[in-house]
Amino acid sequence: MPCFKVNVKWGAESYKGVEVDTDQEPLVFKAQLFALTGVSTDRQKVVVKGKIVPENGWDSIKLKNGQAILMMGSVEENTVDIAPENRVKFIEDMSEQDLVAVLDLPSGLTNLGNTCYMNATVQCLKTVPELTTALKAYTDSGQGYSSTSSPAESIISALKQLYSAMKQDTAVPPVILLQVLHDVFPRFAEKGEGGRFIQQDANECWTELVRMLQQKLYPAGNGDVEQDRKSVIDTYFGGSWDVEMKCDESEEEPVTKSTEAFTELNCHINTDIKYLDSGLRANLKGSVDKRSPTLDRDAIYTKTSRISRLPAYLRVQFIRFQYKQKDNVNAKILKEVKFTMILDLFELCSPDLQKKLMPMRDKFKEQEDKKVEEASKIDMSGAVKKEKKMKKLPYAFEDDVGSNNSGYYELQAVLTHQGRTSSSGHYIGWVRRNQTEWVKCDDDDISLIHQEDILKLAGGGDWHCAYVLLYGPRVLEVEEEEEKMEQSGEKVEKTEQSSMDTQ
């Protein structure tokens, strides 16, 4: 007998361990919910991963133990038979658009003919609040998209308009952005047999959109003079490497040091790479062939890199495509490379940056130790855990807006590809909704999925596999009283240090 224990969410109420027997009709489960909530079975809407459970059975619904289930509906009340001025709209009477609004799901994007690569990119970028805020605050010449606009201005205006429209409709046709993309980058407008647009590479689309935003879009409220400002991309996506070059063929030649900027990290895939972190570490050291001023010829150099600035938002690309000259295609590497929800880049950083990261990392450890201690005390006493007022600490260094001050990241969007070449197949965007749920953005088909399903996108077969990952800063939450005490302690320490300096 297929029986599962699920967690039901109804408004502000939660019910854990509710049994579901899938051999029985859903009406039996609804009867259990009626006993728990008082909402009659005919007024209930039961939703699993964005799908409403049908009346005739569980065949189309996949359940597992611990599954999150949303129940919507209201308790009937005895009322005088007078029509209210503003009639209440019950969930069973809602349209698909109303249902998406209640579930707080993002709007879908219509596929205009092999445009899934653009739709998936747009959905992933939309998860960055600082970017959407900057777009909302952006003011152009008043022309919007016009023939006199620069390419960057055209892209920014079109993206701003699209994000605005996505707040109002369940499915939006991204016509203007596609038109601008084709005008600015003609290769994306290539057509095949029958006049249909050819599938394009989503990572190339991401790269070009970011490059345009980098030219003209600035953080909201960050000064008025362009030359004194960094773009929103440089601020929140831009990192830097400390690079050392040592000539392997000349001991006399001194080591040269430089700094290189980046807006993404790459994970090359080979037989030895099984995990994302090992793929990233492999980029820290390598060999390059360049001109040696000492030897006056080309020579082999060892290039060693360490991150000297971590951005708030980290884009990671899996190098999944390699060009095959024989077939004239970018063939896909299907090998599985596992990634994690939490990413720690401390080991990739320079010693100076590691030292700067330690104070916030210590706070994370203290908070985790405290949670473990509190949980053990509650388990022993059987007391009910009290809700505490929490406060989010800044994720950036005080003197570096848009940086990451801990080295910890949390996965917030995944762009996947299904198919054998970059110019074929299908792209999908997957975006985080909360700590346990994600949203699958398959063009205009929007559905809820569990976090565990995201980790299955690591590759290894013909199913969707991760192509681009977007990590955001892991934000530390502490009790408000605890933060006040800590700030007070810091002030005392600074005062004492100032007094010592004066003496």
Residue 212: CB atoms within 10 Å: 23
> What span, in angstroms and rounded, lies between the C-alpha atoms of 413 and 416?
10
Cβ distance 14 to 46 under 8 Å? no
> What span, in angstroms and rounded, lies between the C-alpha atoms of 316 and 451?
19
Q: Is 116 a catalytic residue?
A: yes
Q: Is 417 a catalytic residue?
A: no
Of 277, 276, 320, 282, the residue nearest 416 (C-alpha) = 320
Distance of CA 125 to the CA centre of its chain: 8
Residue 470: CB atoms within 10 Å: 24
Cβ distance 343 to 276 under 8 Å? yes
CA neighbours closer than 13 Å in the CB half-sphere of residue 336: 8
Cβ distance 242 to 305 under 8 Å? yes
Of 457, 463, 453, the residue nearest 420 (C-alpha) = 463
Among candidate residues 116, 267, 349, 465, the one labeled active-site is 116
Residue 174: CB atoms within 10 Å: 23
Distance of CA 6 to the CA centre of its chain: 27
Among candidate residues 182, 268, 426, 450, the one labeled active-site is 426
> What span, in angstroms and rounded, lies between the C-alpha atoms of 385 and 406?
28
Length of the chain: 503
Of 50, 127, 160, 106, the residue nearest 469 (C-alpha) = 127
Helix H segments across 166-231? 175-184, 202-216
Which tokens go with 467?
């192509």
Name the residues annotated as catalytic. Answer: 116, 426
